[in-house]
Structure 1
């Protein structure tokens, strides 16, 4: 399943191994919501997510997560680029993020009872690909359960 990008932003792809059965539930330009069935009979909801890069439009992303969560009665995983950080330790270089944007991200995770799964292979998932003092790295991609 693929949702095309708009210019240089967005775009989603959901690819799984052949032995995994995936049933699409719904999709739009910023998410793909699916039901995943494993060979051992385990079933869970997986939402591939792309958060709005424009801070003025992030309410749309939060509202979409609320709609998906309202449909989920069992386990759920949400993974993708959230274009948000929880605190300034998830950013290296550049200006600090406003506390309000980090609080909004934390609040939606708390409201939806989503838990951040910490990575063990490196912390930062995005870089601006510059060098020296202009280099910025952030942890924008994550999995939530």
Structure 2
């Protein structure tokens, strides 16, 4: 059984292109935030097993209300943190704004483009301690916690030939207390790399992997 909802990031495409992707992958519906030139681009794809209502969107997020087949109602935010060092704090400002827009059980998933601590990185330039502290503080303040993890520890590598491989955990799924109580057996699984330097992640609400 495939995923009910999928959140591709950095699609570098427009609505027409993502419509072709939707049909090829067998999803029934889509929301698209088009890329600016060859940069960025977000898309949310979903099957007929869930009903989606849009709350808000920007070049860095798609925020929706989800009604699943078992009548559970919750909130999903597909999040793309700024990859520009000087703009990292704008990501946490966005997270703060999103937090105040709904009190539904909340799942936030995507590429946060930052790590929570040195243990989430292998080799490479040392990350700013203050930025990591701000990221961790933002998640803690809004009650967003990691779920149990299956698979390798890292989700990104630099793919630079001739240099030592740098690995980091940039992609993650986090849920607030209400969401994790709604789906007690939820897991995050790191999938295999496929034509990307980012490892896809799969969030499942059932204890079936």
- Common topology (TM > 0.5): yes
Question: Aligned-pair distance for 1:123?
Answer: 1.6
Q: Runs (4+) of structure 1 moved beyond 6 Å? A: none
Instruction: Give RMSD over aligned pairs.
Output: 1.6
Q: Which has the larger radius of gyration?
A: 2
Aligned-partner Cα distance in 2 for 1:144–1:8: 29
Unmatched tracts of structure 1, length 5 or more: none
Is 1:107 equivalent to 2:137 in the alignment?
A: yes
Is 1:46 equivalent to 2:76 in the alignment?
A: yes
Show the counterpart of 1:26.
Answer: 56
Distance 1:56 1:76, change over 3 A: same
Unmatched tracts of structure 2, length 5 or more: 1-30, 176-209
How many residue pairs end up in the alignment?
145
Aligned-partner Cα distance in 2 for 1:10–1:118: 29
Matches within 5 A, 1:65-104: 65-104=95-134
**RCO comparison, higher one (Cα < 8 Å, 6+):** 1
Q: Residues 4-47 of structure 1: CA distance to partner in whole angstroms, max 9, x if unpaired? A: 33455532221222211111111111000000001111010100
TM-score using structure 2 length:
0.65
